[in-house]
Amino acid sequence: MQLWEVFVRARAGLHHQHVGSLHAVDAEMALENARDVFTRRGEAASIWVVPSAQIVASDPDDAGELFEPAMDKVYRHPTFYEVPDGVANL
């Protein structure tokens, strides 16, 4: 028995979202279990299942070096720039 993470795309156009995890012995069982457990109310157009051991996650202890530097680089945001009057399509 392995632990699997389940991702569901509600409908075309949206991302797959993580909805939880379940136990299964193989990918086919994981997919069917995911379908039975997470999509009974018409919540899915697509399912991904991934063995939990295959997920690579960032370490919360590294949050400082991974995520904080981005906070002060405001020039990545379009609103940082003033668009001169009279200029369109920018």
DSSP three-state, residue 46: strand
The answer to whether residue 56 forms part of the interface with other proteins (CB under 8 A) is no
Contact between 9 and 44 under an 8 Å Cβ cutoff? The reply is yes
How far is 1 from 24, CA to CA, in rounded Å?
Answer: 5
The answer to whether residue 49 forms part of the interface with other proteins (CB under 8 A) is no
The answer to whether residue 60 forms part of the interface with other proteins (CB under 8 A) is yes
The smaller minimum CB distance to other proteins, of residues 11 and 17, is found at 17
- Among 12, 13, 15, 26, which residue interacts with other proteins (rule: CB under 8 A)? 26
What residues line the site for other proteins (CB under 8 A)?
Answer: 1, 3, 19-26, 28-29, 32-33, 36-37, 40-41, 57, 59-60
